[in-house]
Copies of this chain bind each other. A is one copy, B any other.
């Protein structure tokens, strides 16, 4: 069966927000065997939305619409649903109660009339109660095509989708089984990976598709297939991924959805009961924020210092000023001293240190923009490497963070 996603909102079409909802919805639908045929972003405009409904209905059994709800959106989606389904809006007393409850819980005082107005829904709609916000979801059907409307606020949309929409979709539709498995690799370019696995790739059967997803120091390799027999499908893809993973054992870090590079690092450190600290200069908190984004980070991550100003590398972290003077602040020598001192200061088994020039202007040293030195300390041992990651600030920081994780993972994976 096929689904389409329609996102409503001028803010998407003028580039003010990035549509992250569609990716989330697509991923969740895929997990239950629903293939997304197309994603379409349209304006807050009745005619345009109606046209999108008609177009989507040509292919899709299920159409998920997000956005265009809420007091300040003039509820364009609900009014257009009424037109499309020849229906009228009626007040739903349960939604009124839900709105009052939310206002009470968050101590927002009495709901305004514009808030209560959100309890109006098309009379034929099955209401999907939104416990996280005031705009309800709706489920309506026309000629066997199901239309679902969800609020555009990601948090509310996600909860409604998982708690209410997916179970209803599972109940309502027969679905094949769709299976993806994605191998994460770090440290080798797309073409070089492709070249290395060319024979393996050429021997893939017709019904299994391989995709390469390169980005800033990593390449993801995805195998996809769909069919009726779940076990045969999994077996077929898993066994091929096993072979691939062995072929790329020097650059593969694991499977997406099962792990991230931070997840893998966390797993190894926890298993070995080892700890980590950071001394991030040019990456300025990016490595720490990626580590602490993962629940349970506190089991192995003890702390970090960001000595952004050169002198603080000496004052707070204890890097000898003479070292900085001799080798410059962006040097493998300084990176190594930072990493070793981070281990000592935080009393950790391992430390990552970064120092470099993210740009666009040059820093305190003589080095080119994009120069980054990364050091990994393991107790009293330390190693380091010097890189140039180009001249775009965001890319320099992201590549430096990815490379740091790659280097640390190699180190902690040793026996």
Contacts and interface: CB of A to CB of B under 8 A. Distances in A.
Interface of A: 10-20, 22-30, 35-43, 48, 52, 55, 70-73, 108, 112, 114-115, 153, 155, 180, 182, 189-192, 194-195, 209, 211-214, 220, 222, 224, 278, 280, 283-289, 291-293, 295-298, 301-309, 312, 316, 345-346, 358-361, 363, 392-395, 397
A278 B288 CA distance: 13
A153 to B, nearest CB: 7
5 nearest A-B pairs in the assembled complex, by CB-CB distance: A284-B292, A285-B288, A15-B27, A15-B26, A285-B285
B360 A395 contact: no
B308 A312 contact: no
A39 B13 contact: yes
Contact of A293 (B13, B182, B309, B393): B393
Given A72-B190, A304-B305, A392-B155, A13 B40 contact: no
13 contacts: A19-B39, A22-B41, A37-B43, A38-B43, A40-B41, A114-B191, A114-B195, A280-B285, A284-B289, A285-B286, A289-B289, A301-B308, A303-B316
Contact of A292 (B195, B285, B316): B285
A30 B297 CA distance: 42
Complex copy number for this chain: 2
B295 A302 contact: no
Contacts of A112: 191, 195
A71 B308 contact: no
Given A11-B213, A15-B28, A72-B191, 18 more contacts: A14-B36, A37-B43, A71-B194, A73-B212, A108-B192, A114-B191, A285-B285, A286-B289, A286-B292, A289-B289, A293-B394, A295-B360, A295-B393, A298-B308, A298-B309, A302-B312, A303-B308, A305-B305
A216 to B, nearest CB: 9
Contacts of A280: 285
A393 B297 CA distance: 12
A284 B297 contact: yes
A305 B315 CA distance: 13
- Among A35, A70, A284, chain B packs the most CB atoms within 10 A around the CB of A284
Nearest to A111: B191
A284 B291 contact: yes
Nearest to A219: B72
A278 to B, nearest CB: 8
A307 B296 contact: no
A347 B387 CA distance: 32
A401 to B, nearest CB: 9
Nearest to A189: B108
A340 to B, nearest CB: 16
A14 B180 contact: yes
Contacts of A30: 14-15
Nearest to A42: B38
A305 B39 CA distance: 43
Contact of A312 (B29, B211, B303): B303
Contacts of A392: 155
A298 to B, nearest CB: 6
A17 to B, nearest CB: 7
Given A43-B37, A189-B108, A346 B316 contact: yes
Contacts of A191: 71-72, 108, 112, 114-115
Contacts of A304: 285, 304-306, 308
Contacts of A360: 295
Contacts of A195: 112, 114
